[in-house]
Structure 1
Amino acid sequence: MSFMEPFRIKMVEPLPNPTREERLKILHESGYNPFQIKDKYVIFDLWSDSGMASMSQHQWAAMVDTSEGCINPESFDTFVDSIKRLTGFPYILPVHQGRAAEHILFSVLARPGLTVFSNTMYITGRTNAELSGAIVVDVPCKQVVGGNFNGDLDCARLQEELREVDAGKAIVILTLTSNNQAGQPVSMANIKHVSEICKMHDTPLFMDGCRFAENAYFIKTRNKVYQGVPARDIALEMFSYFDGMYMSAKKDGLCNIGGFFATRLSDIYGKFKRRMIYIEGNSNHGGISSRDMEAVARGLREGTDDGYLKYRIESLSTFGDILKKAGVPLVEPVGSAIYINAAKCLPHIPTAQYPAWALHCALYVEGGIRCKHLHDVLKVDDTNERENPKQQHFIRLSLPRRMYTLSHLIHIGDVFKNILGERRSISGVLIKCPSEHYFAAIMEPVRKC
């Protein structure tokens, strides 16, 4: 194996340990919907890497050492100074998490007639923009098998689209790394080119920077020009091409809560600041506690350290290698998460019987594993495609930061190997009680488990 955890474990939490029979009963009682299962019955929760990081002794110490305040807390100064040094943006505002910044930003900027272009927008950002009357248009690059930067935006198409939009009626969001492009990074060349196009059309450019540090490290390892450059310097160059950014600190900030909005545009900053008072709270705390601002400030420093990022990216890559050896078909190269082609894992299950959902249920029964489907997982047809499956046939394994060890990853690989070895015994599923959101859907197996 290629990586070693760069830390010692100071505190441990016992893993839940329901038996296989108990897990089968729990799944049945949950309507064959793993999202309805209580956390205490999940052994390995790979549903998200957001807000699940294990924080360091330095973060906990800073949280205990600070004093709470709601007007001018000292932690706000620490928070702002840390982000200014990291990003170069002069105007900083805290929020309780990334989607709060999305909500405020789009409530300020979005309106009927505005178009938001993106490589791909995360569902919360897309929904917040659309709720404010904007139209969201994704212009992702064409996916290249084995491509190093499949999170790129299609610049030629963006040029064409912006020529058709009236002045002042567009903004561009680059998501780094790109969730809906299998967690793949965006290249520095693409960031720079998008920035040039936006300046040419007088169009604001913002970053969804939840995983900016991982994106910077991917640039370091996949672009020879940057191999000797610290990730923090790469990130600073990335930020220089944007007018602003919003971020959930629950990812690369190594925190359980928190986020921020940062910009160099004073007018947008003023509008955001006025609006957030009615939504998030005072501009000096943004709806989070002083101790959480301290944790974010420290977490951003730790999360952009090259030693930590080497561990983080190599652990993801090693996890992918473990799964490949178990026979799991996944998107390569591995990005910020593991994307698995469930249709190829379970070729005997027709598309209309939801192979991704069936695989997820099998993972819970066999190993107590919870993961995630893409958001439109229940909107499938009966074409039963295999070689070029739609997004709905994929599941995603997110690896919470500093939480699981190499032995855990090897064990999860063994779970997959067992499942694939007995794949014919796995039943497809059907919708028993539909729901607008897959979290609440009730399913049932085609045949008894």
Structure 2
Amino acid sequence: MPEFMEPFRIKAVEPIPFPTTDERREALDRAGHNLFRVPASAITIDLLTDSGTSAMSAAQWAALLSGDESYAGARSFENFETVVRDLTGYDEVLPVHQGRAAERILLGTVLAPGEVSISNTHFDTTRAAVESTGATAVDLPVSQRSPSAFGGDLDLASLRAWLGGADGSRVRCVVLTVTNNATGGQPVSLSNIAKTRELCDRYGVMLLLDASRFAENAYLISERESGHSHRSPREVAQLVFALADGCWASLKKDGMANIGGMIAVRDGELARRCREQLIAFEGFPTYGGLAGRDLDALAQGLLEVTDPAYLEYRAKTARWFGEKLAEAGLPVLQPTGCHAVYVDAGELLPNVPPHQLPATALANELYLAGAVRVSDLGTLVFGRATAHGEDIAAPRELVRFALPRRVYTKSHLEYVAETAAAVAAKAGQIAGYGIVEQAESLRHFTAVLRPLDRPVDRTPASERPART
């Protein structure tokens, strides 16, 4: 028997493009050397994100046909609400169109100017949601200096110091991102969540979960944390939800669907205030910007995602893929999680300093070598531009090889590993990038970059050829 295999059959297929070397170079040039701006028609293997890229099951496709498209009080919402309540234990359930809408509504309701949100790590859109309220986002991850089974944990000593310190009264909420996407997709232990809950109770602070990958976190707890191996992933997930005051989630991840998100909380008054924002910006509270068929597909996905066979396959795939990338010569963060494999571009490219964006450089070389698209999670994403235009570097120069759910097979990932080997072999020749244009917030989505081994293009963006 193989070490692992897909616990499903493939029922529909989609052709993938194979752009030539010249076509890849032209596509990257037209995109301003930003992989977010490269059209999908020029990508062979797309590991940019696991968000909204899942392949849905036959049961989910069937659920689409039973969608109730009533504007108010649709049967599809009732199905969705029942599944979420059973999973989380929270009575108040609000659907939204995706995770960043949930962050904006919930954090915008909880936080006020001058307040503080503390997290194991706020991801990019979470930080933007916090800062848009006038509050401050503070990250307190555990040390990343050595591998840990639960590298996604919150640093409890630092949290205790914050809550008991001079600025403790400013802390309005603690957010645990499970799994911790910004620090290598590492899980958060049940013990860490419980101890965080104790500190929040002691100081009267709300504990919230970014539960976008709740099932993967639950599986890794059952696999790695002593005393929980006898529990199913769903049982572990319910224990995690029971420790928090509420959550939000992008259900484009562990909802196993292509669109959708949710807010779920205990406090009826908080839910009422969130519903006011939901009605103003997303839609009526029983559809939240989604079609009824989307809600039915999400309800089914939330049942499927805690299947132990699926989650075991997911974890073993990431582990195997990490080994393949390490064999190819890439410095892989260990242990791997479930939704992605992370590579330290700073270690691979010591000749490229952080302000020259080594994670971007590695990601772009992978695209040029084989039309493989991955995500930069280094200084372009998590760095901070100063008033003088200089960048404060990110803690690490990571590149994320995200794994869309039920999309790619072993042979697809072997192709990625072969491409990675070709890039690793010429690591010493890879140059960095500079920023030509950037937005004030979430700059990585739209930034225009330039290779530092080429002259600056002074042509205004409005006069450049349109990308295809």
TM-score, normalization by structure 1:
0.93
| Match 2:194 to one of 178, 192, 195 | 192
Residue by residue, what CA displacement relative to the aligned partner does 1:295-319 show, whole Å, maximum 9, x if unpaired? 1100011111111111111111111
Unaligned segments of structure 1, at least 5 residues? 382-388
The answer to whether the 8 Å contact 2:211/2:249 transfers is: yes
Cα 1:431/1:129, change in 2 over 3 Å:
closer
**In 2, Cα distance between equivalents of 1:302 and 1:63:** 15
Give aligned-pair identity as a percent. 39
| Correspondence for 1:361 | 364
**In 1, Cα distance between equivalents of 2:172 and 2:352:** 43
Deviation at 1:391, TM superposition (A): 3.7
The answer to whether the 8 Å contact 2:67/2:295 transfers is: no
Unaligned segments of structure 2, at least 5 residues? 386-392, 456-468
The answer to whether the 8 Å contact 1:220/1:234 transfers is: yes
**In 1, Cα distance between equivalents of 2:347 and 2:424:** 10
1:442 equivalent to 2:448? Answer: yes
Give the total of aligned pairs.
Answer: 442
| Correspondence for 2:83 | 82
Aligned with 1:224: secondary structure? coil
Deviation at 1:423, TM superposition (A): 3.0
For 1:255-294, what aligned pairs fall within 5 Å after superposition? 255-294=257-296
Cα 1:135/1:441, change in 2 over 3 Å:
closer
The answer to whether the 8 Å contact 2:232/2:308 transfers is: yes
The answer to whether the 8 Å contact 1:380/1:392 transfers is: no
**In 2, Cα distance between equivalents of 1:132 and 1:28:** 36
| Correspondence for 2:303 | 301
The answer to whether the 8 Å contact 2:144/2:151 transfers is: yes
| Correspondence for 2:466 | none
Deviation at 1:288, TM superposition (A): 0.6
Residue by residue, what CA displacement relative to the aligned partner does 1:386-422 show, whole Å, maximum 9, x if unpaired? xxx9545221111111111111111110111112223
1:176 equivalent to 2:182? Answer: no
Amino acid of the structure 1 residue aligned with 2:358: P
Cα 1:168/1:443, change in 2 over 3 Å:
closer
**In 1, Cα distance between equivalents of 2:90 and 2:150:** 25
Amino acid of the structure 2 residue aligned with 1:253: G
Instruction: Provide the aligned C-alpha RMSD in A.
Output: 2.1
The answer to whether the 8 Å contact 2:322/2:341 transfers is: yes
| Match 1:338 to one of 333, 341, 345 | 341
**In 1, Cα distance between equivalents of 2:129 and 2:285:** 21
| Correspondence for 2:389 | none
For 1:401-420, what aligned pairs fall within 5 Å after superposition? 401-420=405-424
Aligned with 1:52: secondary structure? coil
The answer to whether the 8 Å contact 1:20/1:366 transfers is: yes
**In 2, Cα distance between equivalents of 1:22 and 1:62:** 40
Cα 1:101/1:431, change in 2 over 3 Å:
closer
Deviation at 1:181, TM superposition (A): 1.6
Cα 1:354/1:292, change in 2 over 3 Å:
same
The answer to whether the 8 Å contact 2:208/2:246 transfers is: yes
1:44 equivalent to 2:50? Answer: no
Aligned with 1:310: secondary structure? helix
**In 2, Cα distance between equivalents of 1:350 and 1:114:** 34
Moved over 6 A (4+): none
Amino acid of the structure 2 residue aligned with 1:429: Y
**In 2, Cα distance between equivalents of 1:38 and 1:181:** 28
Aligned with 1:71: secondary structure? coil
Higher mean displacement: 242-251 or 82-91? 82-91
Higher mean displacement: 59-68 or 239-248? 59-68
**In 2, Cα distance between equivalents of 1:119 and 1:351:** 23
Amino acid of the structure 2 residue aligned with 1:239: F
Aligned with 1:395: secondary structure? strand
**In 1, Cα distance between equivalents of 2:448 and 2:289:** 35
**In 1, Cα distance between equivalents of 2:121 and 2:352:** 29
The answer to whether the 8 Å contact 1:118/1:173 transfers is: yes
Amino acid of the structure 2 residue aligned with 1:128: A
| Correspondence for 1:384 | none
Amino acid of the structure 1 residue aligned with 2:116: T
| Match 1:313 to one of 315, 339, 353 | 315
Higher mean displacement: 66-75 or 20-29? 20-29
Cα 1:107/1:356, change in 2 over 3 Å:
closer
For 1:376-391, what aligned pairs fall within 5 Å after superposition? 376-377=379-380, 391=395
Aligned with 2:153: secondary structure? coil
Cα 1:137/1:344, change in 2 over 3 Å:
closer
1:400 equivalent to 2:404? Answer: yes
1:6 equivalent to 2:4? Answer: no
**In 1, Cα distance between equivalents of 2:131 and 2:74:** 35
The answer to whether the 8 Å contact 2:378/2:398 transfers is: no
For 1:427-438, what aligned pairs fall within 5 Å after superposition? 427-433=431-437, 436=440, 437-438=443-444
Residue by residue, what CA displacement relative to the aligned partner does 1:31-71 show, whole Å, maximum 9, x if unpaired? 32222211111111111110000001100100112231111
**In 2, Cα distance between equivalents of 1:365 and 1:279:** 40
